[in-house]
Amino acid sequence: MRIAKRIARSGLASRREAEAMIANGRVSINDEPLTSPARNVAEDDVITLDGRPLSAIQQTRVYLFYKPREVLTARSDPRGRHCVPDFLPPHLARLKTVGRLDFLSEGLLLLTTDGELARYFEHPDNALLRRYRLRLHGDCSNHARTRLAELAQGITVDGFRYRPITIKIQTRDNVRGNFWVEASLREGKNRELRKIMNSLGYRVSRLIRTQYGRFSLGRLEAGALVEVSDKELRRILASTSNFPSQNSLERQDRQKQRVGKNKGSQKQLEK
């Protein structure tokens, strides 16, 4: 594991911030000052930051967060708009987001301590299912329904080719011309659904993500945060092929075993 990644996994800084710490001479390995982030570290290496031992690798954790409307998926905003960390406890402010939801969109946003997990879930090659509910304003005639169904073959908008999207019409407001649809897709290009619906003549008045991979929004309310249990997380990851953070889970198990052995040894010494 690269040293910058190891520092980031301790929860003290991002990788970029860790690289700056190294460049400023604040990091040492086995009492040797480090000047370059191009260094791999082993489990038994002694790493210090500002002369203090680096904390252990954080346990792989995943949280489900209901991002409200008009909240940025960012750490801060120069214009003073609300950002995701504003809704988190201070000790969770450095959680990594899995993908993004735009300012006006809402719903399920995955947060995690594990950057590898985030990158795996985001990568287009893994084609994880994303499911959304959209409230559309526009034509809901049989012809329009056919055009929406044709999105299952993919569509090109402004020179960009989008993968197939499955659309299910759910409800219709005959008075106001609004209707709800469920959209299922396996990629996450910037503002994809809004651009596609606009190209078909629809105005998206509400967009809610309800599912990402095997994680669902459920009954979570806007602004709420809940942690996925360790048991449930392991069950989900065990069914995920080529998941890179399996090594992280194995390291956690080894750390627990070492702690258990140390406690057992201490009890024997006390006797």
Domain made up of 129-212: CATH architecture: 2-Layer Sandwich (3.30)
* Residue 269: per-residue pLDDT: 41
Domain made up of 59-127+218-246: CATH architecture: 2-Layer Sandwich (3.30)
Listed by start position, the domains of the chain span 1-58, 59-127+218-246, 129-212
239/196: higher pLDDT:
196
pLDDT, one tens digit per residue, over 35-66 is: 899 999 998 999 999 999 998 888 889 999 99
Domain made up of 1-58: CATH architecture: Roll (3.10)
pLDDT, one tens digit per residue, over 153-168 is: 999 999 999 999 999 9
Strands 203-212 and 106-112: parallel
Is 102 tagged catalytic? yes
Total residues belonging to the chain: 271
The residue annotated as part of the active site, out of 45, 86, 102, 139, is 102
Strands 215-216 and 203-212: antiparallel
Q: Are 121 and 188 in contact (CB under 8 A)?
A: no
- pLDDT category at 118 given cuts 50, 70, 90 is confident
171: helix, strand or coil: strand
42: helix, strand or coil: coil
